[in-house]
Amino acid sequence: MWDLTSTGHITVSVIDSSNNVISVNSSLALQLNTWTHIVQTFSSTNGLRLYVDSTLVASRSSLTGHAIGPYLTIGASPNGARQFYGRVDEFRVFRNELTSTDICRLAYPE
């Protein structure tokens, strides 16, 4: 799940096998009217990670259980309290966790 706070900070979350919402928050506010490359990764080895413009900005590695799905929410909070009014371009889902090198290549293709 991706959420944008009223102050422009992005929050990404997963739901674990115990039905707990696990989140990380960006300490950087996103700039208005600026293209931003955002990547969320999750693995049982590395936990939950958030990258903005190929830079790791937040992570949480002490997770119990594993992420469950097939849930995907972008641009709205799970309870519908907030909504993102903007554009999402080139959304992709990968089977495996991306490395920082993979993320950099996606953010800055040659």
CA–CA distance from 64 to each of 14, 45, 91 (Å)? 12, 11, 28
Q: Give the model's confidence band at 65: pLDDT under 50 very low, under 70 low, under 90 confident, else very high.
A: low
**Mean pLDDT score of the chain, rounded to an integer?**
81
Q: Is 25 exposed, middle or buried (0-12, 13-18, 19+ CB in 10 A)?
A: middle
Percent of the chain at pLDDT exceeding 70 = 79
pTM of structure: 0.80
Here the tokens at position 73 are 């929410």
